[in-house]
Each structure stands twice: as C-alpha cells, then as structure tokens.
Structure 1
C-alpha cells in the first residue's frame, strides 16, 4: 500500500486546514480524507496523559500503519498523495520518522507571525471552553508546567512558534529542494499565486485551484460567571469522555460547546500590550530563523501584525479594521 508523496507539516493555526481543502480540489492530488491523521507523531497508540480535551484528540489519531495506508488507497492512478498534520514541523521525532519512512517526500511549511499564532491557538481553546486561563500572556506563562504534565502539542503556544529551531533540525534530515517554506500572509493575500507556487513545487498543473476556502471562525465568549460555569462543565465532560467508548465523549461535550458559543462575540484581536509582552519570547528564535532560511522576518518583532487576515491593535490603542479576508487554522 502507498504512503504519501508530500506532507503539509506546519504550522498549527497557519491556514493548514484551508490549504488542505484547497489542494483536495486539484485532480492530480489526492489528499487524505482525514485532514490531520498524526501518524508520524508516535510509534504506537498515543499517550493516555494530556490536558483538557486531549483524550478526544488521541482517539482521532491514526496510528496503525494499515489504517494510515488506507487513507491513500483511493488515490487515482498517477495522482500524488498528501496529508496535513501541522504538528510534524514541531515534533523532532516525527521529522525523523518521516525521514525513515518516506525520505523523498516533499514537505510544505506555512509560517505565521509566532505571537499572532500563539494568540490564535489560545483563542481557539478558550472559545472551545478547554483553556481555563482567560489571558493569553498568563496562559503562556504556564506552558512549561503543562508540557511537563504531558499536555499535547496544541497547548504549547510558545514552543510551536519557534520555527528557527524546528527548521534547523529539519534541514539536517531533508534537502532544501524537498521543502517549500512560505508565509501565512501569502496564503491570505495572494492565494492564487501561492497555490500555483505549491503546484509548481509538487510538479502538477498550475491555475487549477485559485482560492482558499473560507472557514467558520468560532465566537469568542466573554469571561464571566457563565463562561466559567460552562467551561468547567465542558472540561469535566471531556475528562469523563476519556473513559467512554467511541464518540460518547464528543456527544457529551458538543451541546456544552454550542451553549458556550451561542453568546460569543467576534474573536478579539491581540492588544499591543499583550504583543509587547510576548515578542521577547521569540527574538532569539527569529534571529535563528533568519540565519537558517536567509529570509528577513524582522517585521515579526514590530508592533503590528501583518502575517494574517487581521491587523492587530496599534501602539496608541486604536483598533485596526478587519480586511475581510478569511482566517483559518
């Protein structure tokens, strides 16, 4: 049975879901029906440890070799096979497993401003009622303790954005011509050109897919008694789901998440004060990223986000307008 020819390996909250959906429309590409199988993250079943909601994520993990190969069995003759698991870039052991199994694979990497990426990651889990800390800076301060406790990759808000370390290791395993690295803002601002760039990299016809599908963005529930109550119930339900068979855990938590989202507002942008406090966490890695790629990422150290579909808050506190472009994970 075949393994994939190419992988979208990162980063989380950098448009990989939308990119997977766009590439699945190309007749010469067969994208796995499970968008994020996570096969190369482990050598067997995932750990039973984790943070809130991680048990359900572990159940979605396609870890058996035969199940993983079956994702590509329906590929038309001659089509390139691909999958998208954005944690492969972050996980050094996953990088080595990919190298051992498919050394000639092509790898696609999407990089997003690491501060904005961390905020989007936190907002995703806060909106789902799983993140108990109502401020991204305070949540990031708990990261080392959470990692030590075995919380899964999606809780590693800061570490997931240290792309310099990740790419430096990846470049020791794969040739540079096997990798395509570009920015999330290119996917948002210039989707047709960026999709053509990917098609050229993969060696398939250009001009076939020109748009990135829009995705629903979850609401952002306001902190308060209602949010605390529903979130606590949702996290308790997620923990109970760890011991329930099949999809019973999801059936238990989905109604609670619906209630949580019902009165939510549009997701709030990162404030300048929050950004100012988080930028120092990435300075050294951005310098490393510039050395290993030869590209300039100095704009990520400035006051304004310009790597996604939303411009953040200015230093004077004035809100920047949304530009109406889709934002996705």
Structure 2
C-alpha cells in the first residue's frame, strides 16, 4: 500500500494503460467499490492540450471531489502514449498511484489493429504499420500498433517521474483467470477494503465480424512475436517472475 500525507483533494490514481488490455473492464470493476470514485469515461485531460488548458477546476468537475473517504480515479490509457502526460500528472499530484494492465503484447497489437478497422475500414494494415513502426511511434499515430504493445517504453517514460513503488502492474490474462484474487491484491495496494465481491465485466469486447473480415496472417503473427519478445522479457523481469499466459 502506498501511504499519503496529502490533505488537498486531488485525483488519487490513474489507470494509464495499456489500451485494448482490459482497462475499461478494470475501471468498471472498480466503479462497483464504495471507496472509489472513478470517472465512467476517458477525460484525456493530461494528453489533450486544449483540455489541459481548461485547468484543474474543469478536470475536477468530472469527479465527486467533495466526497470524503474515497479514492478518485481517472482511466485514460492514452496517457501512457503521450510525451507530456507523465510530467503533467506528476506536477498535478506527485503522490499519484499508477495502474497498468498489460495483455499478451502480440494479441494486444492484433486487437488494436481490429479496433482500428472497426472504427475505419480504411485504417492502415498491420503489415504496413510494422514496416513503418518507428516513424508511426514517433508521431504517436493511431496506427502504431507495435509501439502500443512495447510496454517497457511506456514504463520508462513514467519512471522518470514516478518510482516503481507508485506503479502497479496487472496482467490481463491473470485477471481473467482469477478475478477475485487479482482484485484483492489491487485493492490492498490501493489501501481499500478488499473483503468485497466485485464482478469483472467484459467491456469493449471486439466484434468477431471484423476479425473475420480482416484476418491476420500467421507470418505477421510470427513477426510480431519476434519483435515483441523483448517486451515479454522486460515485463517478466520487472515482475520478477515468468508470465505463463504469454508463453
């Protein structure tokens, strides 16, 4: 559990990533807890310049800031991808707690591709994206499917401002396998009562019709596996244990 001596009410924790890794399901799970006030959508306060310029009072209007005895939370996985967000969050609340939920990076990249196609069937192909990976990453392009699965790069950006103690890593597949146990561990880290029953919803599930219309070739999956093996190694090293569901 991370202690805090702060008196001024601020947003306490942020679900910062990764997109297409169960962040919406995790948010909706935490919304069931009486000790949590978490906004139902994504605010994008710290990664959208026009919104950040609105100021903290505008931001706080999204929460019940006058409600005592609760933790206020913000789920915006786009924060993990924006170069300015880590410093902005730290300046806003240097005692903030960050929650990461990571999915098998290959499956996340494929899911990201299908999500893009669901939104726009003219979205860049996975193969074209891999051919331009670093260029797309530098621009934080929505088509940077590989970069968005390179979790170690996102962690490194936040490590410049937040210690490892203030960052909690969950594995999506482990949450699915044992929601009760994984939820208890997270609630304990947040300092919340963990003797409650919370249901893990399945939010933002992909559409099978899109997956059938835009299948991913085995050779492309194999290329992703090779490119993302360093990510698997980095997260296993960070956790100090293997992640069997990613093997």
On the 8 A contact 1:116/1:270 being kept in 2, the answer is: no
**Which of 282, 293, 299 is 2:228 aligned to?**
282
Deviation, structure 1 residue 210: 2.6
For residues 41 and 80 of structure 1, the distance between their equivalents in structure 2, rounded to whole angstroms, comes to 22
Tell me: CA distance 1:270–1:206, structure 2 relative to 1, closer, same or farther (3 Å). farther
Deviation, structure 1 residue 29: 0.5
For residues 186 and 215 of structure 2, the distance between their equivalents in structure 1, rounded to whole angstroms, comes to 29
Tell me: CA distance 1:207–1:63, structure 2 relative to 1, closer, same or farther (3 Å). farther
**How many pairs were matched up?**
239
What corresponds to 2:43 in structure 1? 37
On the 8 A contact 1:20/1:84 being kept in 2, the answer is: yes
- Map 1:257-268 → 2, pairs under 5 A: none
The SS at the match of 2:14 is strand
Deviation, structure 1 residue 185: 0.5
Tell me: CA distance 1:83–1:63, structure 2 relative to 1, closer, same or farther (3 Å). farther
TM-superposition CA deviations, 1:278-313 (whole Å, max 9, x none): 12222334434444443335864x5xxxxxxxxxxx
**Which of 166, 170, 177 is 1:178 aligned to?**
166
For residues 221 and 212 of structure 2, the distance between their equivalents in structure 1, rounded to whole angstroms, comes to 19
For residues 18 and 243 of structure 2, the distance between their equivalents in structure 1, rounded to whole angstroms, comes to 16
Tell me: CA distance 1:23–1:141, structure 2 relative to 1, closer, same or farther (3 Å). same
On the 8 A contact 2:65/2:72 being kept in 1, the answer is: no
What corresponds to 1:198 in structure 2? 186
For residues 117 and 195 of structure 2, the distance between their equivalents in structure 1, rounded to whole angstroms, comes to 38
Tell me: CA distance 1:88–1:216, structure 2 relative to 1, closer, same or farther (3 Å). closer
For residues 219 and 176 of structure 1, the distance between their equivalents in structure 2, rounded to whole angstroms, comes to 36
What corresponds to 2:145 in structure 1? 157
Deviation, structure 1 residue 145: 4.7
What corresponds to 1:215 in structure 2? 203
Larger Rg: 1
Tell me: CA distance 1:63–1:3, structure 2 relative to 1, closer, same or farther (3 Å). farther
Residues 82-91 or 66-75, more deviating: 66-75
Deviation, structure 1 residue 36: 1.2
Deviation, structure 1 residue 203: 0.8
The SS at the match of 1:155 is coil
On the 8 A contact 2:35/2:70 being kept in 1, the answer is: yes
For residues 65 and 219 of structure 2, the distance between their equivalents in structure 1, rounded to whole angstroms, comes to 50
For residues 178 and 78 of structure 1, the distance between their equivalents in structure 2, rounded to whole angstroms, comes to 20
What corresponds to 2:102 in structure 1? 111
**Which of 103, 106, 130 is 1:140 aligned to?**
130
State the TM-score, normalizing by the size of structure 2: 0.83
The SS at the match of 1:115 is helix
The SS at the match of 1:39 is coil
State the TM-score, normalizing by the size of structure 1: 0.64
The SS at the match of 1:40 is coil
- Map 1:3-18 → 2, pairs under 5 A: 3-18=10-25
For residues 127 and 167 of structure 2, the distance between their equivalents in structure 1, rounded to whole angstroms, comes to 32
**Which of 15, 22, 26 is 2:33 aligned to?**
26
Provide structure 1 residue ranges, at least 5 long, that are not aligned to the other structure: 46-60, 222-263, 303-329
The SS at the match of 2:32 is coil
